Amino acid sequence: MHLPAEAELLRIHIGEGDRCGHQPLYEAIVLEARRRGMAGATVLRGIMGFGAHSHLHTHKVLRLSEDLPLVIEIVDTPERIAELLPYLEQVMAEGLVTREKVRVAVHRAGQAPA
């Protein structure tokens, strides 16, 4: 897929324990983005954070949280990002979704490993 120089970054903030049915929510979102043929998605795991309820989620030796913060980043065209938003509204019970304009400097698919 070719990305134009002017694209959008979709950033989705959720918790590691969030679910979509029997599946982790982050997994459901990434698989849906892949099913739609989006350019790509990355899930980043945070070591500390809090959200709307101000409940602190942290990863420490003596206090292991099972609900660490996750960020899913997807870069694609504004139109394709907009098409994914109704799905996110449907599957997210809580969290934060942001969009911002980005300039794509390099986007190469490379060759698949043999």
Q: What is the average per-residue pLDDT within 88-107?
A: 96
What single letter denotes the amino acid at residue 57? H
pLDDT in tens, 39-49: 999 999 988 87
- Residue 113 domain flag: no
Q: What is the average per-residue pLDDT within 10-17?
A: 95
Is residue 17's pLDDT more than 70?
Answer: yes
In order of 11, 12, 47, 57, 113, the CA distances from 99 in angstroms are 6, 9, 23, 24, 33
Q: What is the mean pLDDT of the chain?
A: 88
Structural domain including 65 reads 6-103
**Domain count of the fold of the chain:** 1
- Residue 109 domain flag: no
pLDDT given at position 65: 56
Task: Kindly give the residue spans of alpha helices, DSSP state H, lying in 22-77.
Answer: 25-35
pLDDT range class, residue 98, cuts 50, 70, 90: very high
Is residue 57's pLDDT more than 70?
Answer: no
